Structure 1
Amino acid sequence: MKKLNTIILSGLVLLGCKSQNDPSPTPNPIPPSNVATELLSFNFNETSGQSVSETKTNASFSINGSSGSAERIGGVEGNALRVNGFYGWATGNASTTYPTAKVCVSGWIAPSAFPVQRKDLDPITENTNAAIFSNVNTSNSSGVALGINHHGRVIGQFKVGTNVIQIVSDQEVALKKWSFIALNINASNGSASLYLNGVQIKSTTFDAGTLLWDNNATIYIGKESKSKTIAGFDTNGLTGAIDQVALWNKELTANEILAQYTKYTPSNPDLKIPTARFANDIHRPKYHLLPSAGWTNESHGLLYIDNKYHIFSQRNLNGPYLEHINWGHYVSSDLINWEEKAQVLWPQPGFDEVGIWSGHAIISGGQPYIFYTGVNKSKAAIGLATSTAPYDTWTKNPTAIIPNAPTTSANADFRDPFVFQHNSEWYMMVGTGLRSGSSRGGLYLYKSTSSDFKNWSPQGTMLEGNPSVDGTGDFWEMPIYYNFGSKSIVLINKLPNANALYWTGNFNGAQFVRDNPVPERLDVINQLLSPSIHPDANGNLTAIGIIPDGVTSAKHKEQGWAHTFSLPRVWTLVNGKIKQVPHPNLLSLRGTSKNFTNVVFDQNSSNVLNNSTGSQYEIVATINPGTTSKVGFSLNKNTATGEQTLIYYDFATSSFVVDRSKSSILTGVPLSNQSTNYVLPAGNINWRIFVDASVIEVFVNEELAFATRSFPSTANNLIDLYAQGGSATATDLKIYNIQGGGTASVAKLSEKKTEVIIHPLVYPNPSSVNFNIKFSNIAESTPVYGYIFDITGFPVKKIDKLLDADNSIVHWDGIMDNGSQAIRGVYVIKGLLKNELFDAKIIVE
């Protein structure tokens, strides 16, 4: 077929050529009207630079964006232009005579995502047109545009006489694949048609007349001519790649369009974000999970299935701003190294046509299910999607499983389902704001009435707030329920002034009965939000939340990405409170270390850690506060600029403090201080601090956690200790360099490695005391670091020792770090031997 079509097209071209025996000169011959001629052609085969050439008129088109921001990838032939939603399109003017009767626009398109439809600004009837070609005069609508709309439908626009005609296909263009699209216009007989991959997919008729153009209108390649913005971001640009764009002097025949399609057989484009884009970004984390570019916020749907972890998140691939939300998808084998996959859910015509908002995922009978919030212009509904291995693509249920909130007058909103099992029954809670009486947050409760989760029965409210008593605001989002055994928790993220709060109590099948009216804070200092939870491969309840940037829209636009996820944390419930510790797998990130013992410091001390610097590292420290009134750390310290971020405990106010008042000399970054009251017991303070460019995560005494953001003006800054009012001693302090982790498709491609887990010999085992954990093949001085965890996953004993050939055994006398004897049961020792993970089971009689 391809060969036949080529012959047909060649024959048509030859019909318009003079005989080779005709000696008369014919400079610049004008082809007959039945021959397809490109008036404008863009091949995008430049290899560098901030411009592209139109090959018929040799006009130069500028690529929007800062110097050096233009990107090219392999195209259907040669290179293609990469466009990035809010920048990267090309604009210019070309001198040509536009046809007023018949014309065709064609080109290849490979969208990474569909463009934005502005939820609060655009009528649902107004189509975005992320155009591969647009020269529309926005004042009088003359000109022609061809592209895709916010639902991925092929869309064309033009003006004939006084009528503006818009034609939109019913078919969605494939994401992350090359597609050939074309718009045929015959103004003289009043017809137009759209083509996708050589096949006509839509046609329309209109009153015949003259096709109108503005010869002075700017031509856009990769963006609609209109100006449509949110928070300073252009919202109607294409995200993906464009190649072989042409404007033809006639309406192409079906065979000619098919020939243009079969002319190329492109492979799928490489649309991963190039390493170079963020190579010089000193604020972008490297070992935290974050999106390849654009916007992310709430994490949700953490799953462990078929030996892989999956997590999803709110995602706008068109730019680092909140709009047109998709579900992003990331996969990992260890919770540390992540691969970003294609988005699994995105807005489509119907109940979720404006956005796919937050939700939850479960596994039932080996089958994963996603429950999500779908929004249109008037309300929110709950949707369902399912998948099969390897879970890269998901199929939506065509209709909402819960079409609207149970009442229309009592709720301020309705979103974020969380599904859980209780006594073999499945329940769903959905966040809301109740408005009957005083404004307060609440959770609607539903019960599943079908095994496929398509039918649900409303059960009233599971829990309601009382803001004057519990401080839980007037709306609750991203709820969590988890049964730890004797007690359960309900966690909500309250609004306004977002904060993650939780109660302990018990669910009775209808309501959650709280132990106390006032909830607990999840983090000591409020910066981690909307955690997603799931047991890991070893049964540890693992949580990953979002850590917002706190920067301005201008800063987000400058950096090209927004927000990051927390490191994985293990949760346990001890004495009615959630204890948070870093996940044991984080030990695998550690590289070389600098070790310090018995470092005495006070308010006059400086650089007591011998010029230790870094941008990606972990601190493990035990500090005796001595006589100080404040004790902690000075991070991201630059003596030349005076920048530093202080993290310390204030004994006078019994508070943890993050002092960011001098954290940066840059604009658009957070400089506010953060502080929360918390009474620490007397004695040493055990710190674990993870610094990853602009992210700082802090763990204290194997139970407390908080996170913050800091944006210094330089990288690799000093690490120092901080004290006021007296002297303190860092009895033991280690700084581990960290490499690896993060998201493979963002800044690097992680090297594939075969994970080998060491299993040391434990003897006697079982026993009540004096366990020996023996490691084999220790030939030189080798550090071993880890924890002994109880059956709930809570760390009860810290292990930190140097082994050698003559001493290859770690001893445990059965006494936990709190001084108590370990009770009867199964324990696990996990950790890092030099650079290798190890684990072993310990049975206490």
Structure 2
Amino acid sequence: MKKCTTIILSGLLLIGCKSQNDPSPTPTPIPNPTVATELFSFNFNESSGQTLSETKTNASFNINGPSGSAERISGVEGNALRVNGFYGWATGNASTTYPTSKVCVSGWIAPSAFPVQRKDADPITENTNAAIFSNVNTSTSAGIALGINHHGRVIGQFKVGTNVIQILSDQEVALKKWSHIALNINASSGTASLYLNGVQIKSTTFDVGTLLWDNNATIYIGKESKSKTIAGFDTNGLTGAIDQVALWSKDLTAAEIVTQYNKFTPSDPDLKIPTAVRFANDIHRPKYHLMPSAGWTNESHGLLYIDNKYHIFSQRNFNGPYWGHLNWGHFVSSDLVSWEEKTQILWPQPGFDEVGIWSGHAIISNGQPFIFYTGVNKARAAIGLATSTAPYDTWTKNASAIIPNAPTTSANADFRDPFVFQHDSEWYMMIGSGLRDGTSRGALYLYKSTSSDFKQWSPQGTMLEGNPSVDGTGDFWEMPVYYNFGAKSIVLINKLPNANALYWTGNFNGSQFVRDNPVPERLDVINQLLSPSIHPDANGNLTAIGIIPDGVTSAKHKEQGWANVFSLPRVWTLANGKIKQVPHPNLLSLRGSSKNFTNVVFDQNSSNSLNNSTGSQYEIVATINPGTATKVGFSLNKNTATGEQTLIYYDFTTSSFVVDRSKSSILKGVPLSNQSTNYILPAGNINWRIFVDASVIEVFVNEELAFATRSFPSTANNLIDLYAQGGSATAIDLKIYNIQGGGTASASKRAEKKSEIIIHPVVFPNPSSVNFNVKFSDITAVTPVYGYIFDITGFPVKKIETILDPNNLIIHWDGIMDDGNKAIRGVYIIKGLLKNELFDAKIIVE
């Protein structure tokens, strides 16, 4: 790539170009005869510590944040200061004689996100200024500031006489690349200009006068001088990196600005969050669940499988772990287990989405992906469209909203979260809302596509409306989901208030969703997972990933530096009018070593039934006979010294699943409330699969039920124990697997590349009606095998757990499913994990 700058000086045309691959010096443009002097210069070349030095006055500046939190990265020359939105900027005072006529501020900036404009607190006309330099007296406005605003435009502010002048460019600074910015002010001629990468991008005129300063004003590097907060978080700090900031004693000539720009040819900065270092002592941060590297995430949306890769998007605030100025984050995976966080794909820009890019959905039509999203400005929400091409790392927005507003002006409470689906070759969009004509109730507006490019839509009325007194679905619906399982379809909504994911089965007739029952089902047996995003996986299994909120206070989020986590991928099937949820089979690849137990009898007097088993990242697989116990389950995150434990059990006296968090932590700011839901379990053994990942607990029961919760113990690697009350129970078979890998690739180290080779064992006889043999090869030692046989809908019908060795290379299946019935005619898939390699094969039942 070349840098090219064209300047006209007194009729002389100067062109300065240099290649980033060519270190040869650029010819020096004709200099202005007046020599510019740096009054302040910040080079940021300290290697560590919570202070930095201004090199002209040797003044020391403090870096905001907890001790040890200051971070440096490679800059345009030497080091640069990383600033993290709600912390990491520097403040201090330095003595100089400020110029009253001419001045310039310049520096290099590499934003990883644009700063926050507060949706409710900031007028739309007020710009945030995440400044590389700001020494403004917030009462008198004396001083000068240069930075970028909430839309990434270069912005400057200064005061001449009684006038406060603001100058704002129309051009957006590139994300995650180095850019040189400068503000030139000549108060004696009444002119000011902004420069980006050596080129003037904006100029303004004002009344001639004297530049006003406050010699005692604090200097901010990486934040504007104003105080702006949300929930205790500063919102007007820069997120990204800063280098080579200077305040000059005069306005620089165009040629001098080009010279400053051409001094360096930096490579793109490494702005990935060093998670391994930053969160090294964070015992509550999950390791194998998908989550953001830092900052805020909530609703997942747009799960896609395209070109052999999975993509999922989510609500993201890169500026801190709080809700505000939402972007669409982007994660990519080859296996739904290990993920890489990519640059955000959508962010607020002037227009209908200038305040936030809220939730939506993604589809693939004729091999082309499309994103539908909610764009928010101060007045209303509208529906936007974006498209992309391989490798789908950058997306192009449609210039205007494809649906500019709700179809009615008085009946809707809000209007957001499109979901697009196909029915009888036609494409439809449903959008969440709440109706206010008569009884307040949730609803879904329906639209029909009238163009193949999805830019034209025709309103079709409401597809579905709630009846809160009957169905308990609240007065607003968000994040809707539709899926056709074949004979039946489902519509899932997340109802408000008291957020909960609920669904109906039924059929869509082209204009209405006709429910089988007026009252919906809960997605999770205990309400914690919200806003699932769905898409078939590589084998056609309908896969869902939702959000599991932290439930902690803002102060705890500030301490963590991250907020919320995604669920593990789950496979959904529909049986007997209910969604059955099981862990995705690819999660078997996470399993490491195991501890095995059989026929462990336990009761209310038992302690340490699992022989000092401990962990922070593990999976439990257990078959438990409840015996005479009235409560049976597990004690997790157990610490006998502090009395902490989280109880997860089934209560036969109330027919309820229970999460008892009343003693889960001695820490403040974490959830301690109990959770329970009535559910009648059939008599017999209870099959549990429980995934614990630091503060996340996901539970699967009898290969059909699921729920999640959060627990924040004061220590890591706590005891794992069994729990019973009212009688004795028996753990017939119980395994605890150490979990390894997974999660999100860190900034300092990419995820280890896993082998994408899948073993395909030979099945014989095939097809057949009984006695299938699944034969492996190249087994040289005793090797455990874990897996499932799935029917054509993706529902697991037979669990496989066995041991193979060089003399025993075959898994046998007699064609009988785990429910005791014979497999019906059709195609089945056996899929699982052989040592650390995935395998699958097709089984045809005649």
- 1:533 alignment counterpart: 534
- How far 1:4 sits from its partner (Å)? 8.0
CA, structure 1 residues 4+566, in 2 after alignment: closer, same or farther (shift >3 Å)? closer
Contact preservation (8 Å) 2:788, 2:799: yes
* Aligned partner of residue 100 in structure 1, secondary structure: coil
Match for residue 94 of structure 1?
A: 94
Counterpart code for 1:738: I
Q: Which residue of 2 aligns with 1:117?
A: 117
Matched with 1:373 is: 374
Partner in structure 2 of residue 310 of structure 1: 311
The answer as to 2:199 corresponding to 1:199 is yes
Decide whether the 8 Å contact of 1:548 with 1:563 is kept in 2: yes
1:344 is matched with which residue?
345
Map of 1:272-671 to 2, 5 A cutoff? 272-274=272-274, 275-671=276-672
Matched, 1:679 2:677: no
Per the TM alignment, residue 802 of structure 1 is displaced from its structure 2 partner at its CA by 1.8
Separation in 1, partners of 2:175, 2:131: 16
Q: CA deviation at 1:7?
A: 3.7
User: What SS does the corresponding residue of 1:276 show, helix, strand or coil?
Assistant: helix
What is the 5 A alignment of 1:1-400? Answer: 1=16, 7-8=28-29, 34-274=34-274, 275-400=276-401
Task: State the secondary structure of the residue aligned to 1:94.
Answer: coil
SS in 2 for 1:555: helix
- 1:753: Cα distance to partner? 2.8
C-alpha deviation, 1:807, in angstroms: 2.5
Q: Quick check: 1:786–1:831 contact (8 Å CA) kept in 2?
A: yes
Identity over aligned pairs, percent: 88
SS at match of 1:246: strand
User: Displacement, 1:801?
Assistant: 1.2
Deviates more, 1:796-805 or 1:272-281: 796-805
Q: Is the 8 A contact 1:441 1:476 kept in 2?
A: yes
Cα deviation digits, residues 26-72 of structure 1 (max 9, x gap): xxxxxxxx210000000000000001100000000000000000000
* Conserved 8 A contact 2:28-2:259: no
CA contact (8 A) 1:286 1:747 kept: no
Larger deviation: 739-748 or 788-797?
739-748
Q: Which runs of 5+ in 1 are unaligned?
A: 16-33
Partner of 1:770: 771
Shift of 1:74: 0.2
Distance apart, 1:806 and its partner CA: 2.7
Which deviates more from structure 2 when the two are superposed, residues 773-782 or residues 523-532? Answer: 773-782
Please state how far the C-alpha of 1:834 moved relative to its aligned partner.
1.9
Provide Cα deviations, 1:634-680, integer angstroms capped at 9, x if missing partner. 00011111110000000000000000000000000000000000000
For the residues of structure 1 that align with 2:110 and 2:758, how far apart are their CA atoms? 42
Contact residue 415 and residue 430 of structure 1 kept, 8 A: yes
Q: SS in structure 2 opposite 1:265?
A: coil
1 CA distance for matches of 2:747 and 2:70? 18
Separation of aligned partners in 2, 1:812 and 1:833: 17
Per-residue CA distance 1:599-638 (angstroms, 9 max, x = gap): 1111111111111111110000000000000000000011
Q: Are the aligned partners of 1:758 and 1:838 in contact in 2 as well (CA < 8 Å)?
A: yes
Deviations 1:250-272 (A, max 9, x none): 00000000000011000000000
Superimposed CA distance per residue, residues 698-747 of structure 1 (whole angstroms, 9 cap, x where no aligned partner): 00000000000000001111111000011111111111001100011357
* Paired amino acid for 1:754: S
- 1:582 partner amino acid: P
CA distance in 1 between partners of 2:389 and 2:40 (Å): 46
- Determine if the alignment matches structure 1 residue 793 to structure 2 residue 794: yes
Q: CA separation in 2, counterparts of 1:761 and 1:251?
A: 77
Query: SS of the residue aligned with 2:349?
Result: coil
Q: Distance in 1 between matches of 2:524 and 2:29?
A: 70
1:560 and 1:113 mapped to 2: Cα distance?
Answer: 16
Rounded to whole Å, the distance in 1 between the matches of 2:749 and 2:559 is 21
Residue identity opposite 1:223 in structure 2: K
C-alpha distance in structure 1 between counterparts of 2:310 and 2:265, whole Å: 35
* Alignment match, 1:705: 706
Match status 1:830 vs 2:831: yes
| Aligned equivalents of 1:524, 1:7: Cα separation in 2 | 71
How far the C-alpha of 1:837 sits from its partner, in A, is 1.2
Q: How far apart, CA to CA, are the structure 2 residues paired with 1:750 and 1:456?
A: 42
Separation in structure 1 between the aligned mates of residue 780 and residue 764 of structure 2, nearest angstrom:
21
Q: Alignment RMSD, CA only?
A: 1.0
Is 2:272–2:748's contact at 8 Å kept on the other side of the alignment? no
1:30 matched residue in structure 2: none
Cα drift, residue 779 of structure 1: 2.9
For residues 238-289 of structure 1, give each alpha carbon's deviation from its aligned partner in whole angstroms, at most 9, with x where no partner exists.
0000000000000000000000001100000000001211111110000000
Measure, in 2, the Cα distance between the counterparts of 1:328 and 1:407.
Answer: 31
Cα deviations across residues 576-597 of structure 1 (Å, max 9, x unaligned)?
A: 0000000000000101111111
Deviations 1:151-190 (A, max 9, x none): 0000000000000000000000000000000000000111
2:408 counterpart SS class: coil
**Deviations 1:96-147 (CA, angstroms, capped at 9, x unpaired):** 0000000000000000000000000000000000000000000000000000
Counterpart of 1:31? Answer: none
Q: Matched residue of 1:554: which SS?
A: helix
4+ long deviations beyond 6 Å: 2-5
Give, in angstroms, the shift of residue 803 of structure 1: 2.1
Counterpart Cα distance in 2 of 1:423 and 1:72:
56
How far, CA to CA, are the matches of 1:501 and 1:151 in structure 2? Answer: 37
